[in-house]
Structure 1
Amino acid sequence: MEYSIGIDIGGTKIATGIVGQQGNVRYKRIHPTPNSTNREIVDLLKQTVSEYMKLATEENINLVSVGIGSAGQIDYKNGRILSGTVNIKDWNNIDIRESLSHTTNLPIYLDNDANTFAIAEHQLGSGKGVDDLVCLTLGTGIGGGIVSDGNVIRGKWGGAAELGHMSVNFNGPDCNCGSKGCIETYASGTGIANRMREKLNSIDAGKRISYTEHPDMLTSKEVFEWNKTGLPEAKEVIDQAITALSFGIVNMIHTFNPSLIIFGGGLAEANRWLIEEVQNKVNAIGMPSLVKGVEMKVSKLGYDTGLIGAAYQVWATSK
């Protein structure tokens, strides 16, 4: 069996592993994402690749590639990080392929982490056998990947499908992309926490303290917990997130005409009930001929989807 080294680079952690062509993860490690310089991350990648190559030699594992998925805007053709994300410090203008070429003679693939998520789901997960689908990763931010007629849509150099930065309100909150009212500002973990802070700042101080003494430490997890208890302010924030996500998905369905929407990421995994809420709202507000029959599912591969998709690039590309 052929194997590939997979590397999934996120804002808080970097998952690495040796992954087989059937999606089986033979070895796996989790590293905290270095937060000082990009050189630290590149050095970690070099060390990881070297260690896995040595392990593969010792255990007679047939390695055929190194596949990397990373947050940020990726020059897919040339293997470069063009511009990163606020969650990863100094993650801009880095030639990953060139840096790792001194460590391995294996072919090196680099893509946006939402695209690698889409590759994994299309080839092995909830989208297996479906050639027109949209993938959304709901976490700290919102990533997007699109498969049309069996192919990942990347655009001119790899920057397509920034679906989390589709605006649903031009008078909405400022987004770190420079626009306003992006889906991410309402329905990502960061967006939900920010909208809840605004609610807390507008209510009586005594009541606010009874919810949290440190609103700056608030996360979406608390907001979802408060929503369960019936806290009106939390319910407003979650309802707003569902509405923003639903209108955004209607736009995606009207644009790409998929047959399936797949959700991944920590926020979706922890709150699967959201998907049914979004499905019902999309069916109510979308063009009937387009939204009818569009299924919505949570990732079948779970938390390893990004790692598997990163490693799988070599096989997806060769088909």
Structure 2
Amino acid sequence: MVYGIGIDIGGTKIASGIVNDTGKVMYQKTVPTPKMGREEILAVLKTIILELVEWSELQGLSLAGIGIGTAGQVHFYEGKVISGTPNIRDWNGVNLRGDIGTYTNLPVYVDNDVNVLALAESVFGAAKGYEEVICLALGTGIGGGIFTNGQLLRGDWGGGAELGHMSINLNGDLCNCGLNGCLETYASGTWIAKRMQKARQEQGLSADVTSRDVFALYRQDDPLARRVIQTMIHGLSYGIVNLIHLFNPQAIVLGGGVMSEGQWIVDSVQKKISTMGMNSLVEEVEIKLSELHSNSGLIGAAMQTWLYK
């Protein structure tokens, strides 16, 4: 049995734990992502890793290494965050492999957070058995992972598959990447909340709402919430059809915090795309909900320690 440390660094939380090579999470710890940025995050990571190493030693477990998945564009071969995400402060140019290597002798592997989510889903989750599959993580932002011929598509150095920053509306809202109308501005938790806040402000209502509040109001048949969620489903469906046209996948797996709302989003998108795009490409594609849910990034991060050794 092989054991690895997995760490999933997102815009709102850092999930970590010990995972074995059957995908079982043996021990888990989740903390909020520090707001102050790089130095505070690196300090928290050190504390977490040393705690996990100590726990493993007490259990008599030999660790294969430390695997990290992080938001941002990651140079996979150097273990560095080349370009961070605005959702994490001061996260550009962070040498995670180098920094973590100063206090542990374990090998360190670093990849984009949705690439590792895709790894986990491809072996243990909803994408198991597929050779051509796309994963989308709908959370604070939107990230993507693409499997083609059973291999992750990385691009030149690892920055490929930034699917959330595919524009689906040239005249849409300005995204934090600098483009207008990105998929992220339609279907991420951040933008679901922003659209609802704007709609409520226009009607003189309190704008203090989160994406979870929007979904709760949607279930109560609130007209503003229904409009926001319908816009989200519409935008997500357009983005997915574009991806189907580009990559001809067998399936698309949806994960991330937004998808904790459940299967009805998958069903809505599946129904919507059935009326769109090139039928020969679209009709056979199955939209699937992540089976590993909030643990997919953590498990996939740890998988690097035995897949890439």
TM over 0.5: yes
Spell out, residue by residue over 1:188-233, the C-alpha distance to the aligned partner (whole angstroms, 9 max, x if none).
Answer: 1111111122222333x3xx2xxxx3x1x21122222222233322
Take 1:256 and 1:106, find their aligned partners in 2: how far apart are those partners? 37
Contact map agreement 2:4 2:306 (CA 8 A) in 1: no
Distance 1:103 1:90 in 2: 22
Aligned equivalent of 1:276, options 267, 273, 276: 267
Equivalent position of 1:155 in the other structure:
155
- Shift of the alpha carbon at 1:51? 2.6
Question: Which residue in the other structure is 1:32 paired with?
Answer: 32
Q: CA deviation at 1:122?
A: 0.4
Answer yes or no: is the 8 Å Cα contact 1:141–1:189 preserved in 2: yes
How far apart are 1:271 and its partner, in Å? Answer: 3.7
Q: 2-side partners of 1:198 and 1:280: how far apart?
A: 28
Is the CA contact 1:4–1:19 (under 8 Å) kept in the aligned structure 2?
Answer: yes
- The answer to whether structure 1 residue 219 and structure 2 residue 210 are counterparts is yes
1:245: how far off?
0.4
Q: In structure 2, how many angstroms separate the alpha carbons of the residues matched to 1:285 and 1:4?
A: 43
Instruction: Tell me the secondary structure at the aligned position of residue 169 of structure 2.
Output: coil
SS in 2 for 1:194: helix
Does the 8 Å contact 2:143/2:162 carry over to 1? yes
Could you say which residue in structure 2 is the equivalent of 1:244?
235
Q: Any residues of structure 2 matched to 1:1-319 within 5 Å, and which?
A: 1-203=1-203, 205=204, 208=205, 213=206, 215=207, 217-317=208-308
Deviation at 1:274, TM superposition (A): 1.1
Bigger Cα displacement from structure 2, 19-28 vs 82-91: 82-91
Per-residue CA deviations over 1:84-138 (Å, capped at 9, x if unaligned) read 1222111111111111112222221100101010000001111111111000111
CA distance in 1, matches of 2:214, 2:49: 39
Secondary structure in 1 matching 2:42 = helix
The 8 Å contact of residues 138 and 264 in structure 1, kept in 2 or not, is answered as: yes
Which amino acid is the alignment partner of residue 43 of structure 2?
Answer: D
> Could you tell me the percent identity over the aligned residues?
48
CA-CA distance at 1:260 after TM superposition: 0.8
1:213-271 CA deviation, whole Å, 9 max, x = no partner? 3x1x2112222222223332222211111111001000001111110111111211214
- Partner SS state of residue 82, structure 1: strand
**Distance (Å, rounded) in 2 between the aligned partners of 1:122 and 1:294:** 16
TM-score by length of 1: 0.93
Report the 3-state secondary structure (helix = DSSP H, G, I; strand = E; otherwise coil) of the residue aligned with 1:120.
Answer: helix
Which is worse superposed, 107-116 or 264-273? 264-273
Q: Distance in 2 between matches of 1:115 and 1:193?
A: 26
The answer to whether the Cα contact below 8 Å between 2:12 and 2:140 also exists between their aligned partners in 1 is no
What is the number of equivalent residue pairs in this alignment?
A: 309
Q: Matches of 1:10 and 1:35 in 2, distance apart?
A: 12
Distance 1:18 1:166 in 2: 34
- After TM superposition, the score normalised by the length of structure 2 is 0.96
- More off after superposition, 268-277 vs 238-247: 268-277
- Secondary structure of the residue aligned to 1:285 is coil
Comparing 245-254 with 263-272, greater Cα deviation is found at 263-272
Q: CA deviation at 1:315?
A: 3.0
* Structure 1 position 288, deviation (Å): 0.8
Q: Residues 49 and 285 (structure 1 numbering): CA distance in 2 closer, same or farther, change over 3 Å?
A: same
- Mapped partners of 2:81, 2:150: distance in 1: 25
The residue type equivalent to 2:215 in the other structure is: F
| Cα distance in structure 2, aligned partners of 1:44 and 1:238 | 35
Contact 1:38 1:90 in 2 (8 A): yes
Structure 1 runs not aligned, ≥5 long: none
**Secondary structure in 1 aligned to 2:27?**
strand
Partner amino acid for 1:130? Y
Cα contact 2:37–2:88 (8 A) shared by 1: no
Structure 1 counterpart of 2:150, one-letter code:
G
Contact 1:166 1:182 in 2 (8 A): yes
SS at match of 2:34: coil
How far 1:56 sits from its partner (Å)? 2.3
SS in 2 for 1:39: helix
| Structure 1: distance between partners of 2:57 and 2:217 | 52
Letter in 2 for 1:144: G
Superposed displacement of residue 57, structure 1: 2.6
